[in-house]
């Protein structure tokens, strides 16, 4: 589970797994990764409560790099968001994860890329490219990486960023579920006021 501080990750972990994770009214209650296990149909699913991250985490603010490093090994991310906070929080978290090479809810680009020793750059596209990826752009991108001999076969409608991701070769494509927490209905708000 990844999210900003105080969005209810620890409470959610306790509710789903029974593992006690400290929850309090102040930010950064969770300082280390707290594991829990969900038992579902004879399967054990490990759920990790990670410390909250803040904007700038990809550059190391608030121990963000350490938290994001754990995310890179996950099979599924639960992005926990506070429904009462700005909707832009999901975009901020996505941007932080993208900055370290994670691609959420996207399939790897349909690009075959193979460096060669000779022969120049061979570019082939099997479908129409509507995002501007053509032989000239491919050649310019490869030359930026000091690659002068390669085979590039594009099997889908891809962008220049997709080609760069394939050349870099260190991108991680991960499924992400968005969990909105702390949603209050009018009835529950009324009950809290009566208390």
Q: How many Cβ atoms from other residues are within 10 Å of residue 160's Cβ?
A: 15
pLDDT of residue 22: 63
Helical H segments across the chain, by residue range: 9-17, 64-71, 88-99, 135-144, 160-168, 186-194
pLDDT of residue 53: 80
pLDDT of residue 195: 46
Domain boundaries, the chain: 9-106+172-194, 111-168
How would you classify the pairing of strands 111-115 and 150-154?
antiparallel
Q: How many Cβ atoms from other residues are within 10 Å of residue 154's Cβ?
A: 23
The CATH classification of domain 9-106+172-194, taken from the options 3.30.1520.10, 3.30.1540.10, 3.40.50.2300, 3.40.50.300: 3.40.50.300
Asked if 127 contacts 98 with a C-beta cutoff of 8 angstroms, the reply is: no
Q: DSSP string spanning 76-108?
A: EEEEEEETTS-THHHHHHHHHHHHTTEEET-PP
pLDDT in tens, the chain (195 residues): 888 888 888 888 888 887 776 655 545 555 677 888 988 889 898 988 888 787 776 676 766 677 777 888 889 999 999 888 778 889 988 988 898 889 999 999 999 999 999 999 999 999 999 999 999 999 999 999 999 999 999 999 999 999 999 999 989 999 999 988 876 554 444 444 444
Output DSSP code: residue 153: E
pLDDT of residue 60: 67
């Amino acid at each position: 589970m990844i999210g900003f501080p105080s969005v209810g990750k620890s409470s959610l972990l306790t509710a789903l797994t029974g593992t006690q994770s400290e929850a309090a009214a102040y930010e950064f209650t969770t300082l280390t990764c707290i594991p829990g296990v969900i038992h579902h149909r004879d399967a054990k699913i490990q759920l990790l409560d990670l410390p909250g991250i803040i904007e700038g985490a990809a550059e190391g603010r608030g121990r963000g790099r350490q938290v994001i490093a754990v995310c890179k090994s996950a099979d599924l991310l639960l992005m926990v968001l506070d429904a009462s906070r700005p909707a832009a929080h999901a975009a901020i978290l996505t941007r932080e994860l993208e900055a370290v090479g994670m691609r959420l809810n996207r399939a790897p680009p349909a690009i075959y890329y193979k460096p060669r020793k000779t022969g120049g750059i061979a570019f082939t596209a099997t479908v129409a490219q509507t995002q501007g990826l053509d032989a000239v752009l491919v050649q310019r991108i490869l030359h930026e990486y000091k690659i002068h001999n390669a085979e590039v076969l594009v099997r889908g409608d891809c962008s220049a960023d997709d080609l760069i991701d394939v050349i870099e070769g260190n991108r991680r494509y991960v499924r992400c579920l968005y969990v909105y927490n702390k949603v209050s209905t009018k009835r529950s708000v009324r009950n809290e006021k009566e208390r």
